Amino acid sequence: MAMAMAPSSSRVISLLLCLLFTLISHITAQPSFLYHFCMNDKGNYTENSAYHTNLNTLLSTLSSNTEVDYGFYNFSQGQGSDKVNAIGMCRGDVKPESCRSCLNDSRVLLMHRCPNQKEAIGWYDNCMLRYSNRSIFDTMEPDPTYFLWVGINATDMNQFIQVLRNLLESLRTNASSGDSLKKYAAGSTAGPSFQTIFALLQCTPDLSEQECDDCLVRAISNINDRCYGLTKCRIGKPSCNLRFDTSPFYDSTADASPSSPSKESPPPPVTNTNATSTKGKSNSTGIVIAVVVPIFVVLVLLISVCIFIRARKRKRSFHNHNDTNNNISYWLPTKKGG
């Protein structure tokens, strides 16, 4: 569209550019979810309705609760058809303070990402938050499922898969036998090619041992869908999640030393992650693609505009030095991890 503009419209182009930068810096201002689902088919609430008020109250109560120190929050707010239920769960090794801060971020972002939706779920590295008008406690929900992976095959795939399976089986028993406050297990083992395999499994602790086990069995079998033979993968479901990697990613001292003073682990490096979600059986949508494609289009457009402006500058030797050249670096990945 910019290409077709008359020569005198360079100010319009600059303005457009400005708007684009503003838009992008706005989008990147908040850490984004690893993944989220807005449940479009589960109903919408109206602005300032009782449901809306209950949701706001519930989520701020949840994310500011300082009594829970085991990383699991299951709260409700309201009565009858305006009742809202929410579950917040932090990764088993996350300290209470980081947990609260993660849930607080989730609260803001999930309502922003899924405006007026009665039901939604979002995952960060450190926590998961979901809410609904239905009863969601003590219920095993294996769908929807998200996958995040890096497309690097293990060098010795068959042996890698075998070792990984053994590790996951052992962790599955340990996670599902956890108590009603925490169902979490993380561990590592020596894999082929001098690599160490790290893995983590977790259920919401409101599930029974059997339900947790069922959920984890499904998550583990989902490895075949997207992550077969790969060295890095995450699979998340409302009731449980799984992650494995050849680099360490969890705090193995978390249970041993309850409160090492403010030792925040640094955000993990941004990896070239490929994302998708299951189709058909696992009832989910291609949200990541829906986000990535428009951003890519905008990026191409912006670069085109910049090239266009630079070409014009050269031709007419503008003296108003704008910052179009430098601004390109603004586009390079600045995403905060987690």
Select the residue interacting with ligand NAG from 174, 271, 282, 285 (CB under 6 A).
174
Shortest CA distance to 39 belongs to which of 126, 132, 135, 119?
119
Nearest residue (beta carbon) to ligand NAG: 43
CB 200 within 8 A of CB 189: no
Q: Which of 56, 65, 155, 170 binds ligand NAG (CB under 6 A)?
A: 170
Least distance CB 315 / ligand NAG (angstroms): 37
Q: Which residue from 36, 91, 118, 243 is in contact with ligand NAG, where contact means CB under 6 A?
A: 118
Would you list the DSSP string of 75-87?
EEESSGGG-EEEE
* Separation between Cα atoms, residue 37 and residue 110, nearest integer Å: 9
* Interface stretch with ligand NAG, choices 2-10, 38-46, 89-97, 278-286 (CB under 6 A): 38-46
- Looking only at residues 60 through 89 of this chain, which bind ligand NAG when binding is defined by CB under 6 A? 72, 74, 81
* β-pair type (120-123, 84-90): unpaired
Q: What are the φ/ψ torsions at residue 249 (nearest 5 degrees)?
A: -140, -5
Site for ligand NAG in 257-316 (CB under 6 A): 274
Question: If we measure between CA atoms, which residue out of 240, 234, 164, 235 comes closest to residue 197?
Answer: 164
- 31 makes contact with ligand NAG (CB under 6 A): no
Residue labelled with tokens 């971020």: 105
Interaction of residue 208 with ligand NAG, rule CB under 6 A: no
Smallest separation, CB 226 to ligand NAG (Å): 7
Which span sits near ligand NAG by CB under 6 A: 165-173, 281-289, 304-312, 317-325? Answer: 165-173
Q: How far apart are CA 36 and CA 127, in angstroms?
A: 12
Stretch that binds ligand NAG, among 15-23, 163-171, 214-222, 310-318 (CB under 6 A): 163-171
Q: How far apart are CA 181 and CA 164, in angstroms?
A: 27
Which of 15, 27, 108, 291 binds ligand NAG (CB under 6 A)? It is 108
Distance CA 263, CA 94 (A): 11
Cβ proximity of 225 and 249 under 8 Å: no
- Show the binding pattern over residues 176-195: x = contacts ligand NAG (CB under 6 A), - = does not: ----xx---x-x--------
Helix axes 10-28, 287-316, angle to 10 degrees: 150
Question: Closest CB to ligand NAG among 9 and 153?
Answer: 153
Shortest distance, position 323 Cβ to ligand NAG, whole Å: 29
Q: Does 229 bind ligand NAG (CB under 6 A)?
A: yes
Check residue 104 for interaction with ligand NAG (CB under 6 A).
yes
Q: How far apart are CA 65 and CA 151, in angstroms?
A: 39
Q: How many CA atoms lie within 13 A of 255 on its CB side?
A: 10
Q: Which of 88, 142, 178, 205 forms a contact with ligand NAG (CB under 6 A)? A: 205
Report yes or no: 182 and 267 within 8 Å, Cβ to Cβ: no
Interaction site with ligand NAG (CB under 6 A) = 40-41, 43-44, 72, 74, 81, 101, 104, 108, 118, 133-134, 137, 151, 153, 167, 170-171, 174, 180-181, 185, 187, 205-206, 229, 274
